[in-house]
């Protein structure tokens, strides 16, 4: 049974193809259009999935959209009615869009599918599961668990903002929901907004900023008490009640009432280009602490309701790696599986899987040792010819290798002497993380690597941490973690024997001084609190990346390298060799490896294109 899943029209549009329960292909539309978080209909992603599956659109058994638009419209109308007359400006802005487009979403989807060759007379089933069911299905069905609790937490779907489900065989039962306007995801996004980052994009920046807060500062406890006393009520089951006097997202055009928040916390809302100061860091730490506590309480409630030994997670909040690491350490479950495309993009995959197992009733067979996500390498790949044609287009100079082991040894050598290397191999990753398919790499031992990558390659805030990619079997040699983390979704501490003690005046240092203090023998991947966002690399899912890190270990004694996504600030992760070469030439990257080809920046012709990525891409 061949099923296409689609998510679209809000943010992070995507498509996924499932054939007899097997995940064949999945990709976000942004990677093709080069518009970050592209909300448009995923025509390119659909075309890719069908081509990779060797199908025409008319050979599908079903096409599945990831939520119920009419139920979402009901929530919108009821919310405006409940808050009336407040929110009239937002109402007048939203209604024309809904009436013109989203009320008739089925027709709009059909029109877009016709452009891709869909024959309306064939009447392929068009299905609409609920948003949080799509999230739950995206996590449970690819997991290695026959039976598990499922926790989904995000901003909002139709009405639900979080759910606890039970997965058993091919069935998913929804046991408990938190409903709009009360939402842990929207609470975190509100603080993202107040601290000067972009909503639905900058939440991971807030997570990275939080450790710069001073845990011993009285401001942390003060901010936490303000949040818990004035903004929210955090209940024993992890649900939150949000005081709508302080929030504008339900009916307004902003996340929060800035004047009321400024009066509460004693400083003005930060603008994106404002300097980061101690109060911003401390407030970031306070909301991160509360978020972690809420997630652990929700997981504890899931355990109570289901009695399950295992947990699956999805929804945007499941991308909070720090919270995930704390949840894992709580030992509530034997093991946890987190969908690598946990946000709305992953809803496309979940919708297709839900249709396969719930609507069509097909059995689920867990036959894999790990999960069914194939390492999340589910996107497009490229041919040798594409690399050569890209080189011809730009008159690029390259060296081609016939032996990949020889190439990996050369790439390892380049990393070991301080170069930044772009690395493009095999199929593109599905989800927000680069996992060695579309990555920029560096030497974690190099104290200057974090600064160089942030300021000269990524052109982003200097406080942002980088992740280590480590050979799976050697993880415990570098970090206080001996399990698997293939999707870079868990944060754990750097091993104690690798740490360097902080100076006596450490807490009094400003953010920049703390940032550049060397905290371990892996300074470029050790965050300010001695933590690291770990990716374990497995030979079974990415043999070429595994080979590179093995070569680096042979050369340096270290089985770990720096990994960050191949893009500049505001740009989607690169997809094609053409995308990669353009990004390579527009940054201060030293070398580019695409398949069996190495490009040396010093040998390339002068870059004459008069484009400017800062104008081309909206900064996030």
Beta carbons of 32 and 44 less than 8 angstroms apart: yes
Which letter, b or e, does each residue of 393-416 get, where b requires 16 or more Cβ atoms within 10 Å of its Cβ? ebebebeebeebeebbbbbbebbb
Task: Give the up-direction half-sphere exposure of residue 57: CA atoms within 13 A in the CB hemisphere.
Answer: 25
User: Based on the domain organization, do 160 and 220 belong to the same domain?
Assistant: yes
The per-residue pLDDT for 365 is: 86
The per-residue pLDDT for 251 is: 81
Distance from C-alpha of 30 to C-alpha of 116, rounded to nearest angstrom: 18
Which letter, b or e, does each residue of 87-105 get, where b requires 16 or more Cβ atoms within 10 Å of its Cβ? beebbeebeeebeeebeeb
Angstrom CA distances, 424 to 542, 594, 597, 602, stand at 12, 5, 10, 19
Q: Is residue 572 part of a domain?
A: yes
**Strand partners of residue 150:** 165, 312
Distance from C-alpha of 66 to C-alpha of 359, rounded to nearest angstrom: 14
User: Based on the domain organization, do 356 and 462 belong to the same domain?
Assistant: no
Q: Is residue 530 part of a domain?
A: yes
Beta carbons of 172 and 53 less than 8 angstroms apart: no
Task: Return the percentage of the chain with pLDDT > 70, whole number.
Answer: 96
User: Based on the domain organization, do 102 and 162 belong to the same domain?
Assistant: no
Q: What is the mean pLDDT of residues 210-223?
A: 93
Give the model confidence (pLDDT) of 473-531 as tens digits: 999 999 999 999 999 999 999 999 999 988 877 777 777 777 777 889 999 999 989 99
pTM of this structure: 0.94
Beta carbons of 487 and 434 less than 8 angstroms apart: no
| Residue 558, both tokens | 């270290």
The per-residue pLDDT for 102 is: 67
Torsion, Cα 169 173 176 177, to 10 degrees, reads 110
Beta carbons of 240 and 234 less than 8 angstroms apart: yes
Q: Which of 569, 514, 601, 37 is nearest to 273 (CA)?
A: 569
User: Based on the domain organization, do 167 and 247 belong to the same domain?
Assistant: yes
Q: Which of 363, 356, 354, 360 is nearest to 129 (CA)?
A: 354
Q: What is the helix (H) or strand (E) element at residue 45, kind and residue range?
A: helix 43-53
Q: Is residue 282 part of a domain?
A: yes
* CATH number of the domain residue 565 falls in: 3.90.870.20
Q: How many domains does the chain have?
A: 3
Give the model confidence (pLDDT) of 569-614 as tens digits: 889 999 999 999 999 999 999 999 999 999 999 999 999 876 565 5
User: Based on the domain organization, do 325 and 364 belong to the same domain?
Assistant: no
Q: Is residue 229 part of a domain?
A: yes
Q: Is residue 48 part of a domain?
A: yes
User: Based on the domain organization, do 167 and 128 belong to the same domain?
Assistant: no
Give me the residue label for tokens 């089985």: 559
User: Based on the domain organization, do 264 and 314 belong to the same domain?
Assistant: yes
Please give the mean pLDDT across all residues of the chain: 92
Q: What is the mean pLDDT of residues 93-101?
A: 71
Residue 368 has pLDDT above 80, yes or no: no
The per-residue pLDDT for 88 is: 74
Q: What is the mean pLDDT of residues 356-360?
A: 97
Q: What is the DSSP string of 81-136?
A: HHHTTTTHHHHHHHHHHHHHTGGGHHHHHHHHHHHTT--GGG--EEE---HHHHHH
User: Based on the domain organization, do 88 and 172 belong to the same domain?
Assistant: no
Residues spanned by the domain of 605 = 384-616
Q: Is residue 378 part of a domain?
A: no
* CATH number of the domain residue 222 falls in: 3.30.420.40
Angstrom CA distances, 454 to 95, 198, 448, 524, stand at 41, 18, 10, 11
Residue 423 has pLDDT above 60, yes or no: yes
User: Based on the domain organization, do 327 and 347 belong to the same domain?
Assistant: no
Beta carbons of 615 and 565 less than 8 angstroms apart: no
The per-residue pLDDT for 36 is: 94
Give the model confidence (pLDDT) of 109-161 as tens digits: 888 999 999 887 887 899 999 999 999 999 999 999 999 999 999 999 999 99
Residue 98 has pLDDT above 90, yes or no: no
User: Based on the domain organization, do 116 and 166 belong to the same domain?
Assistant: no
Q: What is the mean pLDDT of residues 386-399?
A: 98
Helix (H, G, I), strand (E, B) or coil at 612: coil
The per-residue pLDDT for 441 is: 97
The per-residue pLDDT for 454 is: 79
Q: Is residue 379 part of a domain?
A: no
Q: Is residue 305 part of a domain?
A: yes
Give the model confidence (pLDDT) of 438-486 as tens digits: 999 999 999 888 888 877 777 767 677 789 999 999 999 999 999 999 9
> What phi and psi, each to the nearest 5 degrees, are found at residue 469?
-100, 125
User: Based on the domain organization, do 579 and 484 belong to the same domain?
Assistant: yes
Give the model confidence (pLDDT) of 11-48 as tens digits: 899 999 999 999 999 999 999 999 999 999 999 999 99
User: Based on the domain organization, do 163 and 107 belong to the same domain?
Assistant: no
């Amino acid at each position: 049974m061949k099923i296409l899943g689609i998510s679209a029209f809000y943010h992070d549009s995507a498509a996924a193809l499932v054939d007899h329960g097997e995940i064949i292909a999945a990709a976000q539309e942004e990677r093709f259009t080069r518009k970050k978080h592209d909300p448009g209909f995923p025509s390119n992603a659909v075309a890719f999935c069908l081509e990779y599956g060797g199908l025409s659109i008319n050979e599908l058994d079903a096409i599945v959209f990831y939520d119920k638009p009419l139920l979402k419209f009901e929530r919108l109308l009821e919310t405006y009615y409940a808050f009336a007359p407040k929110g009239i400006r937002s109402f007048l802005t939203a209604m024309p869009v809904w009436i013109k487009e989203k009320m008739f979403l089925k027709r709009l989807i059909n029109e877009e599918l016709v452009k891709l060759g869909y024959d309306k007379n064939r009447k392929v089933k068009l299905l609409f599961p609920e948003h949080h069911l799509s999230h739950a299905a995206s996590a449970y069905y690819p997991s290695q668990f026959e039976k598990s609790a499922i926790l989904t937490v995000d901003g909002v779907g139709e009405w639900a903002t979080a759910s606890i489900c039970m997965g058993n065989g091919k069935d998913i039962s929804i046991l408990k929901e938190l409903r709009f306007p009360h939402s842990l995801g929207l609470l975190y996004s509100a603080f993202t907004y107040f601290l000067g980052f972009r909503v639905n994009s900058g939440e991971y920046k807030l997570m990275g900023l939080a450790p710069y807060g001073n845990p011993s500062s009285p401001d942390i406890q003060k901010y936490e008490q303000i949040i818990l006393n004035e903004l929210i009520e955090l209940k024993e089951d992890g649900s939150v009640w949000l005081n709508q006097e302080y929030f504008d997202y339900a009916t307004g055009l902003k996340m929060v009432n800035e004047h009321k928040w400024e009066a509460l916390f004693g400083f003005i809302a930060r603008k994106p280009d404002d300097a980061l100061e101690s109060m911003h860091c401390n407030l970031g730490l306070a909301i991160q602490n509360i978020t972690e506590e809420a997630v652990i309480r929700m997981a504890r409630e899931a355990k109570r309701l289901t009695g399950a030994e295992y947990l699956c997670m999805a929804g945007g909040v499941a991308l909070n790696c720090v919270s995930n690491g704390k949840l894992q350490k709580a030992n509530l479950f034997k093991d946890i599986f987190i969908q690598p495309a946990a946000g709305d993009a992953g809803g496309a995959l979940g919708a297709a899987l839900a249709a396969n197992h719930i609507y069509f009733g097909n059995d689920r067979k867990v036959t894999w040792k790990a999960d069914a996500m194939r390492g999340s390498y589910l996107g497009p790949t490229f041919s040798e010819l594409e690399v050569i044609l890209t080189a011809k287009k730009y008159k690029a100079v390259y060296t081609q290798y016939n032996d990949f082991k020889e190439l990996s040894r050369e790439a390892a050598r380049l990393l070991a002497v301080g170069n930044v290397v772009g690395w493009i191999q095999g199929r593109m990753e599905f989800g927000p993380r680069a996992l060695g398919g579309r990555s920029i790499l560096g030497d974690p031992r190099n104290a200057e690597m974090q600064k160089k990558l942030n300021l000269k390659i990524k052109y982003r805030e200097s406080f942002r941490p980088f992740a280590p990619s480590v050979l799976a079997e050697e993880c415990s040699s570098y970090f206080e973690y001996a399990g698997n983390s293939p999707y870079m979704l868990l944060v754990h501490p750097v091993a104690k024997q690798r740490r360097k003690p902080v100076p006596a005046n450490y807490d009094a240092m400003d953010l920049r001084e703390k940032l550049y203090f060397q905290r371990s023998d892996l300074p470029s991947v050790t965050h300010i609190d001695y933590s690291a966002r770990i990716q374990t690399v497995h030979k079974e899912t990415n043999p070429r990346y595994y080979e590179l890190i093995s070569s680096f270990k042979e050369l340096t004694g270290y089985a770990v390298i720096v990994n960050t996504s191949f893009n500049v600030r505001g740009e989607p992760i690169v997809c094609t060799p053409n995308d990669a070469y353009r990004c390579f030439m527009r940054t201060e990257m030293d070398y580019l490896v695409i398949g069996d080809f190495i490009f040396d920046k010093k040998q390339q012709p002068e870059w004459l294109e008069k484009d400017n990525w800062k104008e081309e891409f909206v900064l996030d």
